[in-house]
Amino acid sequence: MANILISLLLTTLSIHLIASVGAVYNIVDFGAKSDGQTDSANALLSAWNAACQSTSPATIYVPNGKFLVGHATFTGPCANNKINVQIYGTFVAPSNYANFGSVGEWIVFDKVVGLSVYGGTLDGSGSGLWACKASGGSCPDGTTSMTFRNSKDVLISGLTSLNSELYHIVIYYCDGVTVQSVKINAPGNSPNTDGIHVEESNGVTITGASIQTGDDCVSIGPGTTNLWIELVSCGPGHGISIGSLGKGYNERGVQNVTVKTTVFTGSENGLRIKTWGRPSDAFVQGVVFEHSVMQNVQNPIIIDQNYCPDNKGCPDQSSGVKISQVTYTDIHGSSASKVAVKFDCSPTNPCSGIELQNIKLTYSGAQPAEASCTHASGTTAGFIIPPSCFKLLLELSCYITLPTHMVFITHYIDGVKRRKNDNQKLYTYTLIVDLTENLETNRRTYII
C-alpha cells in the first residue's frame, strides 16, 4: 500500500512539474509510435519545433515505451530559454550499423539556451558495429549517441545511455552545462565508447555519474576550462583522462579542472593525462585530483606524453604540450601493475609543479608498488606510497642579511625554497644541486 501511495505521489508530482513549465508537447500527438519499429524522428522534430517556437517555457513529453529514432538534430535559438525534454521511455537507435554508423551523430542539440533533459534511456544498438570492428572488416567509424553543441545553461539529469556505437555524451563548444545522476553502460571491450567527452567548453559540471564502458569514462579535450567532476564511479573503462592533446599543433589548452571523490574499479587507468609526442602549443595547467579510490587499476596515476594507441603511426617526437600545476591528494587503493605512479613527460617540455600529498597505492603482486619519473619534477607532503620518484635534491644553506623587500634565491625547477628569520631579518640563500646530473640550476630574483 505504501509503495502504491509513493507511486501515485511521484506520478502526481511529475505531472505537476510538467504542467508548471507551460505548454506540454507529447510526441505521440505528433505521430510517434512506441512499437520500437516505426521511426519517430520526424515526430520528435515536430514536437521540438512547436516547443522552440513557443514564447513561454515548454516541455516535450516522451511517455513510456520504446521509440525507434533515426538521426535527429534539434536546433535553436528558440523563442524561449526554458525547454524541458522529459523522457520516460527509451529511444532505440537503428540496428543497421552499415548505414547508421556513418551518420556520426544520433541525437543533437545545437544553439540552444536553457535546455533541460530529464530521465529516459538511450539505446545506441552498438553491438553490430563492435563485432564488425573486432572482425577486422570494413566498418564505419560509428555514431555518437547524444551531442550538445554551441549551447548554454544546459542540464542533463537522470539519463541512462546504453551501448553507444561511439561516444555516449559529447559536450562541444558549450558554456554552463551540468550533467548529474547519469548512468552509462557498454561492454569493457567496446571500442571508442567514451562515456562523457568535453571539449572547447567552459563551466561544465559532472556529478553523480556511474560509468562502465570500453574507453575513457570521462575524456577532456582541448579548450576545456573550469571543469568540475565529482562523485563518479568508473570501471570498466580507461579512467578519467585529460586528452589526448597535441594531435594538432594549434590546440587550445586545458585549465582549471577538479576531479574529486571518484572510485575506479578494474579500469585500465585511473587519473590520466595523455598527449601525443609531437610539437604543439597546447597546455595543461591547474588540475586537482583528490579523494580517489583505486580498486585493481592498471595505471592508477599516469601522465603519458608519448601517447600512441596500439603503437601505430606514432610520431616519435617530443611532445610540445606543457603540463604544470597538477595536484594529487588522498589517492589510495590497489594497483594491478607494479608501477602505480608513472610520469612519462616531454624532454623538451618537462612536467613541472606536480604535487603529491597522502598517496597510498599498493601492488597486488608479491613486490611493493613503484613510481616512475621521466622529465618530471614536483613536491610531496604527508605519506607517499610508493615513494616519490622525483629527483633527490641537496640543499646548502647560509644566512645573509638583505634588504627587507628583496630576496635572491637559486632554486630547482620543482619550486622555490625560502626560509626567513623575522627577528634577525635574515633570509636563506639556498643552492640546490641535482645529484643525478650535478648541475647548478638557474638563478632568479624574486620581489616580496
* Residue numbers annotated as active site: 215, 238
How many CA atoms are closer than 13 Å to the CA of 97, on its beta-carbon side?
Answer: 22
315: cell is 610520431
Give the phi and the psi of residue 53 in degrees, each rounded to 5: -85, -15
What is the three-class DSSP state of 131? Answer: helix
Length of the chain: 448
End-to-end CA distance of the chain: 71
Close Cβ partners of 168 (under 8 Å, ≥ 6 residues apart) = 122, 124, 144, 145, 146, 161, 184, 186, 193, 194, 195, 196, 213
At position 398, the amino acid (one-letter code) is: C
Query: How far apart are alpha carbons 52 and 413 in whole angstroms?
Result: 55
Question: What does each C-alpha distance from 238 to 29, 244, 266, 300 come to in angstroms?
Answer: 42, 12, 9, 10
What is the three-class DSSP state of 44? Answer: helix
Give the phi and the psi of residue 5 in degrees, each rounded to 5: -65, -40
